[in-house]
Amino acid sequence: MRRDELKQMHSLILEIEEEEARRYNLGAWSLFGDDSDFMKQNAEQIMRMRGWIQEIPDSVTRRAFALRYVDGLDWIDVAVRMGYSSPDGPRKVCERYLEKNSV
């Protein structure tokens, strides 16, 4: 998993939610034609990323990645949720994992 992919994860989740809301509000009619392939690709990418995060063996590292990239929290909120006194703690946990695993 690359850092740029991880940074896109929460945005992809929000994009799918927004598109579902648009479809609901427009009565399942899309101004841009059938975009189900686009939505399917986004969903597949999200599932791949979530799978990668779930395979991280260390619980602390896995939580830091999930809170930051799945839930979209900023580093300060991740630190608070995980009991760190500084946002640098969980950020460094993720950075070390990425460096160690040549991502």
User: The whole model's pTM is what?
Assistant: 0.77
| DSSP run (H or E) holding 66 | none
Q: Please give the tally of structural domains in the chain.
A: 1
Q: Model confidence over 51-66: pLDDT tens digits?
A: 999 999 999 999 999 9
| pLDDT higher than 80, residue 42 | yes
pLDDT at 35: 65
The range of the structural domain enclosing residue 14 comes to 3-100
When mean pLDDT is compared across 2-6, 44-48, 53-57, 62-66, the lowest value belongs to 2-6
Q: For residues 52 and 57, give the distance between their C-alpha atoms in angstroms, rounded to a whole number.
A: 10
pLDDT at 29: 52
Answer for the pair 81, 67: CB distance below 8 angstroms, yes or no.
yes
**36 or 77, which is more confident:** 77
- With b for 16 or more beta-carbon neighbours within 10 A and e for fewer, the 14-25 pattern comes to eeeeebeeeeee
67-96: average pLDDT: 95
